[in-house]
């Protein structure tokens, strides 16, 4: 076990292990890491070593599904789940993942064609299918706790609804989500309960993190997390970086820069992992909103966690990103992290200006999160080969986008269906005692 994972060939038969970023508990298999969510020492699981992508995975002419299976299988080497990866992928990734070209050098990777119209569907659906297909017969359901700034909760609720493997508790900031996000968070019932917390996303995250530290609760309730601290959310996100960059290189002959709208640093960590495995990526840029924790850290070397501030790109309103621990684990010295990781902040005014201008100039309609990344591409990478990651469908944020483009947005069918359903939510304060809450079987 090493704090500084080295790249090694994962040949057939090699057992893949994962260790904690805090390095003070023993290494586990992928299944164990996914079921636990967080390591027992409070750290996040990272691979002991990274599999190297082979020439088959790096060819352009294979389907998304084939690539997903080939990229993900080595992470489950020696794990009983290895045999179920095909099935899990084919259930989870049943929607398109288009790479759309703006011109001959610039593309947009659209990750919002899943059921809840944000990239969170990839991780949430993989995680739910994984748990459902590997859950031992007769085992009582897990309790999945999820803190959400808007999109994660909807994706996790949709992915787990009516699954037998888990009951789900979603915690979202009462006044921090759009009405359509709220519909996606609260239209479920059965095994899914949604709590609106009278506070910020950071309060929601603290509530959930605290539950894992209550002695005995984790074992008793089979607690796990469906936040991007869970390895089962992160691994499937590596696939679309491999896929899109292979297609990009096939068409242009060069490896692209990737610009990722970033909040809790989960999605962009998957990009760094894909690069480490050998995906053709020239560099990775974090585009953040007014929550400047990361750019300030890279500039000064001092990491100051903050309270999150509310912005138009609400799914990125994070003052203390959980997955920074994984990035620091990948690049252990400040020198390395400063060389490898670039981050730029975009204000709300710039988000608005970018949505308006892109629509006027090209007809492109961006969600506020994707606008953060387009802004950064325009300023930092003019004319360079690049992919902007489009993380949500603009129709989820119609109250922001419609006035800027001056016309109504079409509502995709999956969203229209969720908007029609009855909603259930329970309002709680940030200091609510989760023990009572989690142990109650009451479902609103
Ligand atoms: C969650 C989310 C992000 C931020 O992703 P992280 O993995 O938290 O960095 C960006 N855009 C949208 C639309 C999201 O839902």
What's the angle, vertex CA 298, arms to CA 380 and CA 316, rounded to 5? 70
Q: Judge whether 343 lies within some domain.
A: yes
> Which pLDDT does position 440 carry in this prediction?
67
**Residue 263 CA, ligand 1 centroid: distance in Å:** 6
Give the position, in ligand 1's atom list, of the atom nearest the Cα of 149: 1
Contacts of 296 (CB under 8 A, 6+ apart): 302, 304
In a domain, 62, yes or no: no
Q: Residues 234, 235, 236, 239: what is their CA dihedral angle, to the nearest 10 degrees?
A: 120
Q: What is the pLDDT of residue 12?
A: 56
Report the C-alpha gap between 415 and 128 in whole angstroms: 20
426: pLDDT confidence band, cut at 50, 70 and 90? very high
Cα(215) to centroid(ligand 1), Å = 31
Give the C-alpha distances (Å, rounded to integers) separating 338 from 19, 57, 273, 347: 24, 30, 17, 23
Mutation test residue for ligand 1: of 267, 312, 367, the one with most atoms within 8 Å of CB: 267
Whether residue 238 is contained in a domain is answered as yes
Burial class (CB in 10 A: 0-12, 13-18, 19+), 425: middle
Mean pLDDT of the chain: 92
Residue 444 pLDDT > 80: no
Is residue 105, in this structure, part of any structural domain at all? yes
Cα separation of 131 and 125, whole Å?
Answer: 10
Any domain includes 194: no
User: Phi, psi at residue 389, to the nearest 5°?
Assistant: -90, 115
Q: Tell me which of 152, 369, 389, 415 to substitute to probe ligand 1's pocket, judged by most ligand atoms within 8 Å of the beta carbon.
A: 369
Using 50, 70 and 90 to split pLDDT, how confident is the model at 202? confident
Atom of ligand 1 nearest to the CA of 264: 8
Distance from C-alpha of 110 to C-alpha of 412, rounded to nearest angstrom: 15
Task: Name the closest-CA residue to atom 14, ligand 1.
Answer: 315
Instruction: Identify the domain containing residue 108 by its residue range.
Output: 99-117+234-410
Q: What is the mean pLDDT of residues 74-78?
A: 93
Contact residues for 209 (Cβ-Cβ < 8 A; gap 6+): none
Select the more confidently predicted residue: 140 or 366: 366
Each residue's pLDDT tens digit, 384-418: 999 999 999 999 999 999 999 999 999 999 999 99
The answer, yes or no, to whether residue 227 has pLDDT greater than 90, is no
Residue 339 included in any domain: yes
pLDDT of residue 441: 52
DSSP tag of 220: H
Listed residue (198, 230, 257) closest to 431, CA to CA: 198
Strand partners, 146: 170
Measured CA to CA, the distance from residue 205 to residue 102 in angstroms comes to: 37
User: Which residue CA neighbors atom 8 of ligand 1 most closely?
Assistant: 264
CB atoms within 10 A of CB 304: 11
C-alpha 42 – ligand 1 centre gap (Å): 23
Using a pLDDT cut of 90, give the percent of the chain over it. Answer: 77
Ligand 1 atom 2, closest CA? 315
User: What average pLDDT does range 296-309 have in this prediction?
Assistant: 93
- In 162-222, beta strands by DSSP E: 166-173, 192-197
pLDDT tens digit sequence for 4-45: 343 344 445 678 999 999 988 889 999 999 988 888 888 999
Convert the pLDDT of each residue in 270-295 to its tens digit. Answer: 999 999 999 999 999 999 999 999 99
Counted domains in the chain: 1
Residues with CB under 6 A from ligand 1: 118, 120, 151, 228, 261-268, 315-316, 369, 391-392
Q: Is the pLDDT score of 201 beyond 90?
A: no
Q: What is the pLDDT of residues 148-181, one digit of tens each?
A: 977 899 999 999 999 999 999 999 999 888 889 9
Instruction: Ligand 1, residue 120: give the atom nearest the CA.
Output: 15
Best residue for ligand 1 mutational test, from 110, 117, 119 (most atoms within 8 Å of Cβ) = 119
Tokens of 171: 């915690």
Give a yes or no: residue 52 inside a domain.
no
CB 315, CB 391: distance < 8 Å? yes
CB 400, CB 371: distance < 8 Å = no
User: What's the pLDDT at 427?
Assistant: 95
pLDDT value, residue 216:
85
Task: Evaluate if residue 250 carries a pLDDT over 60.
Answer: yes
| CATH number of the domain within which 261 lies | 3.40.50.1100
**Residues 180, 166: Cα–Cα separation, whole Å:** 25
Task: Choose from 62-76, 197-211, 422-436 the range with maximum mean pLDDT.
Answer: 62-76
Residue 379 lies inside a defined structural domain of this protein: yes
């Amino acid at each position: 076990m090493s704090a500084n994972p080295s790249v090694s060939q994962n040949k057939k038969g090699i057992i893949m292990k994962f260790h904690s970023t805090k390095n003070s508990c023993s290494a586990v298999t992928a299944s164990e890491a996914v079921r636990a969510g967080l390591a027992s020492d409070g750290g996040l699981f990272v691979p002991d070593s990274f599999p190297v992508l082979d020439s088959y995975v790096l060819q352009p002419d294979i389907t998304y599904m084939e690539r997903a299976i080939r990229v993900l299988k080595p992470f489950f080497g020696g794990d009983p789940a290895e045999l179920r990866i095909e099935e899990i992928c084919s259930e989870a990734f049943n929607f398109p993942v288009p790479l759309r070209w703006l011109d001959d050098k610039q593309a947009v990777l659209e990750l919002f064609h899943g059921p809840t119209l944000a990239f969170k569907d990839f991780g949430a659906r993989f995680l739910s299918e994984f748990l459902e297909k590997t859950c031992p017969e007769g085992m009582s359901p897990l309790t999945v706790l999820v803190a959400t700034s808007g999109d994660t909760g909807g994706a996790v609720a949709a992915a787990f609804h009516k699954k037998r493997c888990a009951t789900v508790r979603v915690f979202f900031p009462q006044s921090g989500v759009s009405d359509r996000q709220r519909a996606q968070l609260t239209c479920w019932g059965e095994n899914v309960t949604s709590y609106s917390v009278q506070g910020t996303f950071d309060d929601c995250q603290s509530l959930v993190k605290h539950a894992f530290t209550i002695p005995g609760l984790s074992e008793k309730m089979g607690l796990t997390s469906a936040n991007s601290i869970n390895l089962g959310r992160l691994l499937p996100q590596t696939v679309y970086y491999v896929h899109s960059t292979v297609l990009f290189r096939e068409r242009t002959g060069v490896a692209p820069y990737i610009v990722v709208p970033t909040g809790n640093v989960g999605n962009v960590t998957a990009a760094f992992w894909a690069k480490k495995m050998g995906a053709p990526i020239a560099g990775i840029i974090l585009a953040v909103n007014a929550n400047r924790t990361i750019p300030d850290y890279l500039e000064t070397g001092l990491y100051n966690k903050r309270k999150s501030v509310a912005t138009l790109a609400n799914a990125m309103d994070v003052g203390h990103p959980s997955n920074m621990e994984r990035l620091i684990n990948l690049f252990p010295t400040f020198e390395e992290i400063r060389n490898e990781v670039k981050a730029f902040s975009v204000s709300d005014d710039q988000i608005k200006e970018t949505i308006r201008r892109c629509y006027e100039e090209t007809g492109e309609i961006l969600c506020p999160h994707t606008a953060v990344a387009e802004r950064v591409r325009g300023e930092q990478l003019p004319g360079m080969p690049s992919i902007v990651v489009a993380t949500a469908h603009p129709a989820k944020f119609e109250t922001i986008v419609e006035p800027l483009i001056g016309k109504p947005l079409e509502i995709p069918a999956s969203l229209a269906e969720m908007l029609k359903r009855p909603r259930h939510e329970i309002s709680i304060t940030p200091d609510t005692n989760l023990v009572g809450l989690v142990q109650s079987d009451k479902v609103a």
